[in-house]
Structure 1
Amino acid sequence: MHLLALALYHRDGRPTPRVLPFKPGKLNIVTGWSKTGKTTLVDIVDHCLGRRRTPLPQGLITDTVGWFALLIQTGTSRVFVARRHPRTGSTGDAMLVFGDHRLDVPTADQLRVNSNSESIRSEISGRLGIEDHLIHSPDGSAYNVHLGHALPLCLQRQTEIADSGRLFHRQADHEVFTALKNGLPYFLGAAGPEQAARKQQLLTTTRRLAVLRRTFDQARRHASSSTTVRTALARLAHQAGLIAELPASLQPAELETLLHAALETPTHIPTPRAEPGLADRLSAERRTLTHDLGEVDDALRLLDLWAQQTADLTGQLHTQRSRLTPLGVLATRDDGHDTCPLCTQELPEADPAINALSQLARELEQELTDLDALAPAREQSRRTLTAEREQLVRRVRENAVAEQALRDNNRALRRAQDQREQQALVRGRILQALQQPAADDSVDLSALRREIARLEELRGDLQHHVDQDDIAAETEIRLGEVARNMTAWARELGLEHADTADDVRISPTTLNVVVRTSGRRIPLDQIGSADNWIGYHLVAHLALHLYFVEHQRPVPHFIMFDQPSQAFFPEEHVHDAATLEDADWQAVRAYYRLMHEVVTQAEGRLQVIATDHAHLASTPWFRDAVVANWRDGDALIPADWLAH
């Protein structure tokens, strides 16, 4: 989903709208002076795509605009959406039109109310491929994900891109924060309808199994005659362990005795012990062990690099020493006289060059001695790390064995519970049969029994798969893939802590950037300066959206950045950044170069729209990306609109 154009319609009904075109799959830049309407573009897009309450600015827009509209490309088709200005009509009134590549922005007289904001989100959600994925909120409510939950991933207002405490659009709203936190695993592909479908199938199977068991009970109670019923109950009691031995031929009197005995037989079913919270502890231990193993492997690689560098240096020192070997006969005496290294004659005066060469030889010998002295410590460190790694590998294996044992134990628990339930069921049936015999041969008991067994097996398999679904772990894995680009780009921009970071990633719990370095986790709100906050916002959103397009996730494949260069201007309310000489234009260029490179890497699948005071007119790719330059009287609201 890319934006092809944004359109404004005058409230007086004049036919020609104000159209701002965009290039799909490209970097689009709207540059210009302050107070020309650039910042409003994010709110207009948010409003057109179905937001209920949009904080559109009052003033010129309120006085002149009657409708806001977007022309959208989704795959090979187009969608035109338009919504009235909240001051001129119901905020729910909307126009929605679908078409092919010929669909364009209509004239004002073609605007019609044929939809509403809810329909906009529903229709576009379907075209994006957002599936029916039910999310359960902590308050007990449930809702399906839709376009409104994806849009906060695509918009960055001026105040949000420089916010150290929040990463996403409208994240300060608790409801939006909760929806983002619950919906991010789905948009990353860590959770989806298949997990929800498994849970629903498990619930349906359990209910169906309960119904069949009741039906089976009724059929057994009404099977044939009293003797037939009691014979069947006796056999069932034997299968459930309530009757130890069952005679080959059963008489009514014997049946009566056996059934009464079955009612009095105590239950002896061994129940495996289940340690509460063990699964969570094992899962946490596995993650910790995997992390520790990675750190040990990194340390071993550093030792290998150190050893290689030491070997290279030792070789160089030996080469230097071998060159000085012919001078080994040099000797400096206390009286200041030296011996000639060629003829062994005593020199009348000390030769500084000979002294220098002798000193150099001694220094080389000392350096070689020092390097040799370091070798045992390095080898000891290697042995220690290797032993630690072997222990970690052993513990990882033990953890896997423990998890398998836990799964086996859980299955045993379910089997024991099923057996107890079966015995309780049989006792109830026997009691009813002894009190009120019945006669009904219309039900196929064997078919019922087979179906119950099939459903019990199906329920066990479904329960096993539901237990295996670990959405949190899958989310971390996918955010780890996003973190690789975040880390590389943060270093490329020279952001604080990036050069020493193990990685830079998005926290799925705080929904903010976290820098992990030297065993520490540094959240973005503990890193100073607005240029770092903006830089980390850029790398986070660009990396996240590159992941979305590469994995074809159902998220609009565009992102809007408002004023990404604001941290480099000397004034808070700069009129025209293009005229400033003391701004850090190298940093601004680096920000936009990163946007340009990521869009290029996405090969037409990602659209970036940036609004800014900055204008790098001398940079060809920046100049080509400019879709509007609002200076010298040009602005979002045309000048001729203000004359009426």
Structure 2
Amino acid sequence: MKIRSIHVYSHDGQRRDLNFKVDGLNVITGRSSTGKSALSEIIEYCMGRSSFNVPEGIIRDKVAWFSVIYQFDREQVLIAKPTPYSGGASCSTAMIRRGIKLQVPAFDELMVNTDDDGVVELLSRLLGIPENRTQVAVEHSRNSFEANIKHTLYYLFQKQGLVANKDQLFYRQSEQYQPQTIRDTLPILLGVSSSNRYELESRLRIAQRDLRISNKKLEKANDLVDSSHEQVLSLYSEAKAVGIIRSSFVSSNIDDIIEAFRSALNWIPEIVPGDDSSRISILEEELVQLRQDRRNIQARTDAAQIFAKRAGGYENEAAEQINRLTSIKALPRNSDSGDWQWPFSEQNLALESPIAVVLLAELESLDKELQVAIGQRPKLEAYLTELRVKVDEIVSLIQLKESELCAAIAANEVIAQMGSRNNAAARVVGRISLFLETLLPNEDIAKLEAENRRLNNKVKQLEEEIGADDSNERLDSILNSISTQVSQYIKKFNAEFAPYPARFNLSQLTIIFDRPERPVPMSRTGGGENHLAYHLSALLAMHVFAAQNNCPIPRFMLIDQPTQVYFPSEQVYKDADGSVLNTERDADLNAVRRLFELLLKFTQEDVPGFQLIITEHANLREQWFQDSLVEEPWTKPPALVPADWRDM
């Protein structure tokens, strides 16, 4: 893709044509403020950029339409765009015309038939930019996008303020987001990612997306199966409770229960008996009586236990008294008569004495009473045991009646809440029906699993086809090749740091010189002549690689006022006015000549047929330079826009 010609139209239909040689060096020189620097803005405007950056003044005021004819291998494409209405800052409407050899349209033939998106799409396709997508890591916030012809502009223009800038290498590099865009798109334009690889990666992204959707569907289906098992058991309990599944049916198999559910859908309401209010009253009365009986028996038990406790005390007391009275028999005997002798009494006072008789009689009575008390103890224990058994029986009956009462109350509450047992059963039948309608059949799950396996295999197959990602290694190799060429051009320019290897650094978008002691970036070098050499070396080296490897980058470059660095001052440079005499008088003539000779050789030998457009104030008398002039040096007139054109 090259520039065949540029055309501007006045508001009254006049036209100014500027024709270029599509191969080789094109030089436009002349006075300042004649429109030379606006050429790059016009070309960019007609390549699909909506922003209108043509400087304010004559061009904006006098030109109604701009058009550029682009030369491709097999056809020409004319892009025409109107000046933004009422001094606007942008315009996105355009006209496209295509042909083998186009005729420049008349003013009345200009009409809008497309927009900038259509222009970008057409030029990108004709240039050969493959279908692509920038690679953006998942953790980054920026979006992936498609590289197009707009992303080649960085390497096509070196404008007046850029061509010797030590901090900025590429066009628009200083604008927000543009450096990252250059880093993202340059590898694509240099052929790091082939169209076949992009197609495979695109198919892989689609397959991975389909697999994620399939995984979610399968996961949801499995979750439904798991939750349905819990729901089955819950509905199963409810169905048995309301009687729509017979109580004799017992199974833990989910399929059997679901089959029972289907049978339950045929449930027919039955006659509902009355509520259990009378039953509740009877149970409550029975509970009152049972609790009274339990209290009575408990009272008898307590009395018997008190009696047993007192009887035991009596036995202990009687036994103690018996032991005391029995001690009488232990009195000493009279040594003469052999009879018992009471202590401290007259002799021969034996057991037949009145006192002894009374004491022995008391001893006998206590012994008889003690025997009677001991004889009653087994009967008392048997009585207490009988009372305890009756209490336990009454407690069991109370618990049973309380359970029956709770069940009756609960049943009545359900009946009251649902209106009737039939309503409760009908509600459960409805829930069963809804459950069966939403139940996912096993064959549907099997289909989801089969589809998931198919997508898994497809993703693995595409990943194997793509293979290991070697894009970083390929990019490093390309940048090394370009860097080698940069070093060679810097030596040809005889610039500072030429003895050291130069390296194009994509991450920093600059040239770095690898000195033994430390690397030196372009920003830390001095001299406008050196900066110009570094800029042109980088751009020329990149275009050499692009041409040799058929990369989709246009085969032209426009350089605005490169020789300004060879003049004593900017004003002296402007005063050259395209004059050979002024150039020879004020410029470093050898440096100017060396620059143009190198550029001419580039279009003839390094990249044969490459188109270089140079806008200048300098002029050389050498014939090869004069042959490169597009027109006579621009003064006022001639200039890009004739002075006699009327304003809008």
What TM-score comes out, normalization by structure 1 length?
0.60
Q: 1:563 to 1:87 in 2, by over 3 A?
A: farther
Corresponding residue of 1:488: 488
Instruction: Give, in whole Å, the separation in 2 of the partners of 1:4 and 1:175.
Output: 32
Tell me which of 585, 589, 592 is aligned to 1:585.
589
Pairs within 5 Å for 1:14-93: 14-15=13-14, 17-86=15-84, 88=86, 91-92=90-91
Q: 1:76 to 1:441 in 2, by over 3 A?
A: same
Kindly provide the CA deviation profile for residues 17-39 of structure 1, in whole angstroms up to 9, marking residues without a partner as x: 11110111221111112222211
Corresponding residue of 2:621: 617
Corresponding residue of 2:118: 119
* Conserved? CA contact 1:181–1:508, under 8 Å: yes
Kindly provide the CA deviation profile for residues 93-132 of structure 1, in whole angstroms up to 9, marking residues without a partner as x: 5442333233122121211122222222122112112233
Instruction: Give, in whole Å, the separation in 2 of the partners of 1:217 and 1:119.
Output: 44
Corresponding residue of 1:233: none
Q: 1:572 to 1:197 in 2, by over 3 A?
A: same
Instruction: Give, in whole Å, the separation in 2 of the partners of 1:585 and 1:178.
Output: 39
The residue identity in structure 1 corresponding to 2:133 is: L
Pairs within 5 Å for 1:42-441: 42-86=40-84, 88=86, 91-92=90-91, 94-135=93-134, 138-209=140-211
Shift of residue 460, structure 1, vs aligned partner = 3.7
* Conserved? CA contact 2:75–2:101, under 8 Å: no
Corresponding residue of 2:475: 475
What SS does the corresponding residue of 2:123 show, helix, strand or coil?
helix
Corresponding residue of 2:644: 640
What SS does the corresponding residue of 2:590 show, helix, strand or coil?
helix
What SS does the corresponding residue of 1:144 show, helix, strand or coil?
coil
Kindly provide the CA deviation profile for residues 176-225 of structure 1, in whole angstroms up to 9, marking residues without a partner as x: 22211211111111135545444443343345446667669979x99xxx
Shift of residue 452, structure 1, vs aligned partner = 5.9
The residue identity in structure 1 corresponding to 2:156 is: C
Corresponding residue of 1:275: none
Q: 1:468 to 1:564 in 2, by over 3 A?
A: same
What SS does the corresponding residue of 2:632 show, helix, strand or coil?
strand
* Conserved? CA contact 1:77–1:98, under 8 Å: no
Q: 1:89 to 1:77 in 2, by over 3 A?
A: farther
* Conserved? CA contact 2:4–2:68, under 8 Å: yes
The residue identity in structure 2 corresponding to 1:133 is: N
Q: 1:589 to 1:455 in 2, by over 3 A?
A: same
The residue identity in structure 1 corresponding to 2:529 is: D
Instruction: Give, in whole Å, the separation in 1 of the partners of 2:151 and 2:520.
Output: 28
Instruction: Give, in whole Å, the separation in 1 of the partners of 2:520 and 2:604.
Output: 31
What SS does the corresponding residue of 1:522 show, helix, strand or coil?
strand
* Conserved? CA contact 2:4–2:20, under 8 Å: yes
Shift of residue 154, structure 1, vs aligned partner = 0.7
What SS does the corresponding residue of 2:145 show, helix, strand or coil?
strand
Shift of residue 559, structure 1, vs aligned partner = 0.7
Q: 1:448 to 1:35 in 2, by over 3 A?
A: closer
Tell me which of 504, 511, 530 is aligned to 1:513.
511
Shift of residue 564, structure 1, vs aligned partner = 0.9
The residue identity in structure 1 corresponding to 2:153 is: L
* Conserved? CA contact 2:96–2:114, under 8 Å: no
Q: 1:545 to 1:216 in 2, by over 3 A?
A: same
Instruction: Give, in whole Å, the separation in 2 of the partners of 1:475 and 1:528.
Output: 30
Instruction: Give, in whole Å, the separation in 1 of the partners of 2:586 and 2:154.
Output: 34
What SS does the corresponding residue of 1:135 show, helix, strand or coil?
coil
Shift of residue 466, structure 1, vs aligned partner = 6.2
* Conserved? CA contact 2:95–2:110, under 8 Å: no
What SS does the corresponding residue of 1:69 show, helix, strand or coil?
strand
Instruction: Give, in whole Å, the separation in 1 of the partners of 2:532 and 2:612.
Output: 16
Q: 1:565 to 1:216 in 2, by over 3 A?
A: closer
Kindly provide the CA deviation profile for residues 343-377 of structure 1, in whole angstroms up to 9, marking residues without a partner as x: xxxxxxxxxxxxxxxxxxxxxxxxxxxxxxxxxxx
Between stretches 453-462 and 483-492, larger displacement belongs to 453-462
What SS does the corresponding residue of 1:173 show, helix, strand or coil?
coil
Over the aligned positions, Cα root-mean-square deviation in angstroms equals 3.5
Aligned length: 432
* Conserved? CA contact 2:62–2:645, under 8 Å: yes
Q: 1:151 to 1:451 in 2, by over 3 A?
A: same
Shift of residue 544, structure 1, vs aligned partner = 0.8
* Conserved? CA contact 1:216–1:449, under 8 Å: no
Q: Which has the larger radius of gyration?
A: 2
Q: 1:443 to 1:481 in 2, by over 3 A?
A: same
Shift of residue 483, structure 1, vs aligned partner = 1.8
The residue identity in structure 1 corresponding to 2:36 is: K
Corresponding residue of 2:429: none
Q: 1:211 to 1:631 in 2, by over 3 A?
A: closer
Q: 1:46 to 1:449 in 2, by over 3 A?
A: closer
* Conserved? CA contact 1:51–1:117, under 8 Å: yes
Shift of residue 558, structure 1, vs aligned partner = 1.0
Kindly provide the CA deviation profile for residues 400-422 of structure 1, in whole angstroms up to 9, marking residues without a partner as x: xxxxxxxxxxxxxxxxxxxxxxx
* Conserved? CA contact 2:94–2:116, under 8 Å: no
Q: 1:8 to 1:441 in 2, by over 3 A?
A: closer
Q: 1:105 to 1:210 in 2, by over 3 A?
A: closer
The residue identity in structure 1 corresponding to 2:114 is: S
* Conserved? CA contact 1:29–1:611, under 8 Å: yes
Kindly provide the CA deviation profile for residues 471-519 of structure 1, in whole angstroms up to 9, marking residues without a partner as x: 33322211211122211111011011112x12x2321111122222326
Structure 1 spans left out of the alignment, 5+ residues: 227-251, 257-435
Q: 1:515 to 1:218 in 2, by over 3 A?
A: same
What TM-score comes out, normalization by structure 2 length?
0.60
What SS does the corresponding residue of 2:562 show, helix, strand or coil?
coil
Instruction: Give, in whole Å, the separation in 1 of the partners of 2:114 and 2:164.
Output: 36
Corresponding residue of 2:603: 599
What SS does the corresponding residue of 2:545 show, helix, strand or coil?
helix
Corresponding residue of 2:341: none
Instruction: Give, in whole Å, the separation in 2 of the partners of 1:148 and 1:478.
Output: 22
Q: 1:439 to 1:495 in 2, by over 3 A?
A: closer
The residue identity in structure 1 corresponding to 2:624 is: W
* Conserved? CA contact 2:221–2:445, under 8 Å: no
Kindly provide the CA deviation profile for residues 313-352 of structure 1, in whole angstroms up to 9, marking residues without a partner as x: xxxxxxxxxxxxxxxxxxxxxxxxxxxxxxxxxxxxxxxx
The residue identity in structure 1 corresponding to 2:627 is: D
State yes or no: 1:9 paired with 2:9: yes
What SS does the corresponding residue of 2:48 show, helix, strand or coil?
coil
State yes or no: 1:523 paired with 2:556: no
Q: 1:466 to 1:603 in 2, by over 3 A?
A: closer
Instruction: Give, in whole Å, the separation in 2 of the partners of 1:204 and 1:87.
Output: 44
What SS does the corresponding residue of 1:468 show, helix, strand or coil?
coil
Instruction: Give, in whole Å, the separation in 1 of the partners of 2:517 and 2:115.
Output: 51
Instruction: Give, in whole Å, the separation in 1 of the partners of 2:199 and 2:79.
Output: 33
Kindly provide the CA deviation profile for residues 274-307 of structure 1, in whole angstroms up to 9, marking residues without a partner as x: xxxxxxxxxxxxxxxxxxxxxxxxxxxxxxxxxx
* Conserved? CA contact 1:84–1:93, under 8 Å: no
Corresponding residue of 1:262: none
* Conserved? CA contact 2:30–2:617, under 8 Å: yes
* Conserved? CA contact 2:131–2:198, under 8 Å: no
Corresponding residue of 2:558: 560
Shift of residue 567, structure 1, vs aligned partner = 0.2
The residue identity in structure 1 corresponding to 2:614 is: A
The residue identity in structure 2 corresponding to 1:613 is: H
